[in-house]
Chain A
Amino acid sequence: MTTTLHDPTRPATRATTYREALREAHRDAMQRDDRVFLMGEDVGRYGGSYAVSLGLLEEFGEERVRDTPLSESGFTGAGIGAALGGLRPIVEIMTVNFSLLALDQILNNAATLRHMSGGQVSVPLVIRMTTGGGRQLAAQHSRSLEAYYAHIPGITVLAPATLEDARGMLWPALQDPDPVVIFEHGTLYNLAGELPEEPEPVDIAHAAVRRAGTDVTLIGYGGTVWRALAAADDLAGRGIEAEVLDLRVLRPLDDEAVLGSVARTHRAVVVDEGWRSVGIAAEVSARIAEGALYELDAPVERVCGVEVPVPYPKHLEDAALPQVADVVAAARRAVGDYA
């Protein structure tokens, strides 16, 4: 994979990957703020399950690159406690599948303590986790449960899809006084591309148009942004100009960006690896219905994960997850291209 998003006119860039961009973001944050530390399963000696933290142990030591037992609830709760105690923890949960073991801590404590205490405490915690399928890891390693977290008031949910966001989202997330959950799609770690020598700050409040278009808006996040971009390429060959909107922030959703894009194109296709029922795509669709009904020239299309546990064999996994061809087909239906 190669990013097509980077503007070649920018000066002084260098080749990197999503994984390295994340690693740099950690290094940078830990250098800038000595309250920042990373903990999670195998983040230290192993170098991170996805090698994001490779080399950080040597640089920052065991205290700040802290291996934990396989105790998702315990160490996530410890992250919350450490945040209450004045530190700025980054908790890495290996995958969203395992995060369910920590859901009590995230929902009942991280997201709740501030309001329930009448505003006495804040929980400045960042939780990172891998999400998504596409790697033949079968059901219990392939889920996309972003919607579970985006459902919870009191936390911010981010989905970096690009190198810029992989590099840039961590620091503002750490600056946020309240909990932030960051979802990294498992297929993106090897994403290669260019980043400026001097990283540019990014916000963690807005969606971003990754490709401008006039005929239909393809709305995705994380891993599906790239499928939407590939679909847009295909559609361009058919004379359909698709706009690709990267949600970036799953909670709170950037309504203005979504509704604004739909107002331009009058058609929307929401691409979401999560299950179709009661998910992110459902929420985005509902907001379009609420806020842009009279802009719509066709029903909103959703391209979502099929409602089964993701199976292991490649042909079944492919069938279970939104593919570029599915996005193209949905977009063609939306614009009325029935040829």
Chain B
Amino acid sequence: MPSLGADMTEGTVLEWLVAPGDVVHRGDIVAVVDTTKSAVEVECFDDGVVASLDVDPGTKVPVGTVLAHLTDADGGTAVAGPPAAPDTHAGDAAEPDAAAAPAPAAPPTATRLPHRGGPGRISPLARRLADELGVDLATVHGTGLHGVIRAEDVRAAAASTPATGAASPPVAGHDAPARALDMRRSIAALMTRSNTEIPHYHLALTVDLHRTLEWVRERNLELSLAERLVPAACLLRATALAAREVPELNGHWVEDAFRPAEHVDLGLILSLRSGGLLVPAIAGAEELDAVAMMTRVRDLTRRARGGRLRGSDLDPPSLTVSNLGDQGVESVAGVIYPPQVALVGFGAVSERPWAVDGMLGVRPLVTVTLAADHRATDGAIGSRFLKALDRALQDPASTMEQKER
């Protein structure tokens, strides 16, 4: 069956125009074939005598099928092969080609961009499911490419552990009442554990903020509206500096021993309008000056309130800060987030009488408190921490800008 068109893979013999015994010449029309496009006359490419017709009219055969055999006109040896179709065709196995050409090393269609998999990567669906199922992604083992966490990993984690004890409360969602309830349960479990396991000690120090506030006022004159500082940024900066100076309070109590953290990852307690708490972390806070700290806080707060925290935002902090100044309270007697070993509290900044050099004046004051784990440290270390924090706030010009490094 000759190939009579590029898209022809088979054909039907409609009619034979020769019979066995007929003498045929090159160019003679010997048959009519239906290609499904039309009836096409098939010509013969050799001289000879028709020996046999091998396909009956009405029969559909693939391109390349032998239709007839010829013998030499003088009755000699058989001339094999079909009257046409000297070459291969689309429907055939491409052996000649495969032999002739080396196979490409890789399928060229695989020109896709490489997927950047790896531990810590989480598929969008997995992230959504973790949120919905209350699964802590930090506890999920990823089975995707190079450890990507996929939906099935989250489902498996949800099936193996009940939705409690989540270190990071879930992030926003559709079913608000149920979520709030979950979050309450989660906080209850965590705080109960803290109060049960951790022997807290509490220290307090009142700090004069007038230099810091003056520095903030002057610095803000140079900053754009979007960059403007609020005093809380300085409190966080001072906390981070103090934590670097007193590393005994910056870390985790794990398996009856204190493990100092490499960086100051400052947990920030945010209360949600819908109730409950979020504790996103400012990773590497010791590297951030007040302006950079402000940017991070602003960004984190906005995303937290919008329900769009990233996984890395919810990495466990090394030290947590509770700033209830906005709420107008004077001081905070904090409860430590296990396995951390301390929590720093800030009350409201308020103008109060304050003696300086024997004179009574009115100064902006804040009461800073420290709740610390007595297993890890004693009061002396806690005191050193608070004094370091105070010092940082008394010399803002040199502590609030990133100059040392």
Q: Is the interface of B mostly helix, strand, loop or mixed?
A: loop
A61 interface contact, C-beta 8 A: no
Q: Is the interface of A mostly helix, strand, loop or mixed?
A: loop
Q: Which residue of B lies closest to A320 (CB)?
A: B108
Contacts of A330 in B (CB 8 A): 112
Q: Knowing A50-B7, A297-B126, A306-B109 touch, does A336 contact B38 (C-beta < 8 A)?
A: no
Across the interface, do B6 and A136 meet the contact criterion of CB distance under 8 Å?
yes
Q: Given A297, A301, A315, which contacts B150 in the complex, CB threshold below 8 Å?
A: A297
Q: Which residue of B lies closest to A262 (CB)?
A: B125
Across the interface, do A318 and B94 meet the contact criterion of CB distance under 8 Å?
yes
Across the interface, do A294 and B124 meet the contact criterion of CB distance under 8 Å?
yes
Across the interface, do B151 and A266 meet the contact criterion of CB distance under 8 Å?
yes
A88 interface contact, C-beta 8 A: no
B97 interface contact, C-beta 8 A: yes
B325 interface contact, C-beta 8 A: no
Provide the B25-40 mask, 1 if CB < 8 A to any CB of A, else 0: 0000000000011100
Complex Cα spacing A190 to B7, Å: 8
Q: Which residue of A lies closest to B109 (CB)?
A: A326
A236 interface contact, C-beta 8 A: no
Q: Knowing A304-B109, A313-B97, A325-B107 touch, does A294 contact B125 (C-beta < 8 A)?
A: yes
Q: Given B6, B101, B124, B152, which contacts A293 in the complex, CB threshold below 8 Å?
A: B124
B276 CB to nearest A CB, Å: 22
B143 interface contact, C-beta 8 A: yes
Q: How many residues of B sit at the interface, in one of the four size bands?
A: 35 or more
A221 interface contact, C-beta 8 A: no
B104 interface contact, C-beta 8 A: yes
A205 CB to nearest B CB, Å: 29
Complex Cα spacing A329 to B123, Å: 20
Across the interface, do A135 and B124 meet the contact criterion of CB distance under 8 Å?
no
Q: Knowing A135-B7, A336-B143 touch, does A294 contact B128 (C-beta < 8 A)?
A: yes
Across the interface, do B38 and A47 meet the contact criterion of CB distance under 8 Å?
yes
A54 interface contact, C-beta 8 A: yes
Q: Which residue of A lies closest to B144 (CB)?
A: A336
Across the interface, do B125 and A315 meet the contact criterion of CB distance under 8 Å?
no
Q: Knowing A297-B150, A306-B108 touch, does A190 contact B9 (C-beta < 8 A)?
A: yes
Contacts of B101 in A (CB 8 A): 313, 315-316
Across the interface, do A315 and B109 meet the contact criterion of CB distance under 8 Å?
no
Q: Given B38, B88, B107, which contacts A51 in the complex, CB threshold below 8 Å?
A: B38
Complex Cα spacing A54 to B5, Å: 16
Complex Cα spacing A325 to B110, Å: 11
Contacts of A137 in B (CB 8 A): 6
Across the interface, do A19 and B109 meet the contact criterion of CB distance under 8 Å?
no
Complex Cα spacing A305 to B109, Å: 6
B8 interface contact, C-beta 8 A: yes
Q: Which residue of B lies closest to A188 (CB)?
A: B7
B145 interface contact, C-beta 8 A: yes
Q: Knowing A319-B107, A336-B145 touch, does A297 contact B151 (C-beta < 8 A)?
A: yes
Contacts of B143 in A (CB 8 A): 336
Q: Knowing A293-B124, A302-B112 touch, does A326 contact B150 (C-beta < 8 A)?
A: no
B90 interface contact, C-beta 8 A: yes
B263 CB to nearest A CB, Å: 31
Complex Cα spacing A19 to B37, Å: 8
Across the interface, do B36 and A51 meet the contact criterion of CB distance under 8 Å?
yes
B111 interface contact, C-beta 8 A: yes
Q: How many residues of A sit at the interface, in one of the four size bands?
A: 35 or more
Across the interface, do B125 and A303 meet the contact criterion of CB distance under 8 Å?
no
Interface residues of B in 96-138 (CB under 8 A from A): 97-98, 100-101, 103-104, 107-112, 115, 123-128
Contacts of A326 in B (CB 8 A): 107, 109-110
Q: Which residue of A lies closest to B114 (CB)?
A: A299
Complex Cα spacing A299 to B127, Å: 14
Q: Which residue of B lies closest to A306 (CB)?
A: B108
Across the interface, do B150 and A336 meet the contact criterion of CB distance under 8 Å?
yes
Across the interface, do A319 and B145 meet the contact criterion of CB distance under 8 Å?
no
Complex Cα spacing A320 to B107, Å: 9
Complex Cα spacing A297 to B149, Å: 9
Q: Given B97, B103, B150, which contacts A298 in the complex, CB threshold below 8 Å?
A: B150
Contacts of B144 in A (CB 8 A): 298, 336
A63 interface contact, C-beta 8 A: no
A274 interface contact, C-beta 8 A: no
Complex Cα spacing A137 to B6, Å: 7
Contacts of A325 in B (CB 8 A): 107
A265 CB to nearest B CB, Å: 11
Complex Cα spacing A50 to B41, Å: 17
Contacts of A336 in B (CB 8 A): 143-145, 150
Contacts of A186 in B (CB 8 A): 6-7
Q: Knowing A190-B8, A266-B151, A276-B111 touch, does A314 contact B94 (C-beta < 8 A)?
A: yes
Q: Which residue of A lies closest to B39 (CB)?
A: A54
B113 CB to nearest A CB, Å: 8
Complex Cα spacing A51 to B109, Å: 32
Across the interface, do B125 and A19 meet the contact criterion of CB distance under 8 Å?
no
Across the interface, do A136 and B90 meet the contact criterion of CB distance under 8 Å?
yes
A15 CB to nearest B CB, Å: 12
Contacts of B10 in A (CB 8 A): 190
Across the interface, do A297 and B123 meet the contact criterion of CB distance under 8 Å?
yes
Across the interface, do B125 and A295 meet the contact criterion of CB distance under 8 Å?
yes
Complex Cα spacing A314 to B96, Å: 10
A76 CB to nearest B CB, Å: 24
Across the interface, do B94 and A51 meet the contact criterion of CB distance under 8 Å?
no
A189 interface contact, C-beta 8 A: yes
Complex Cα spacing A10 to B248, Å: 79
Contacts of A135 in B (CB 8 A): 6-7, 90
Complex Cα spacing A189 to B151, Å: 42
A156 interface contact, C-beta 8 A: no
Known contacts A190-B8, A306-B108, A326-B107; 7 additional CB pairs below 8 A are: A51-B38, A135-B90, A186-B7, A297-B123, A306-B111, A319-B104, A336-B150
Of the A-B pairs whose beta carbons lie under 8 Å apart in the complex, a sample of 22, sorted by A's number, is: A50-B37, A51-B36, A137-B6, A189-B36, A190-B8, A266-B151, A276-B111, A293-B124, A295-B125, A297-B124, A297-B151, A305-B109, A313-B97, A314-B94, A315-B94, A315-B103, A319-B108, A321-B109, A329-B107, A329-B110, A333-B115, A338-B145
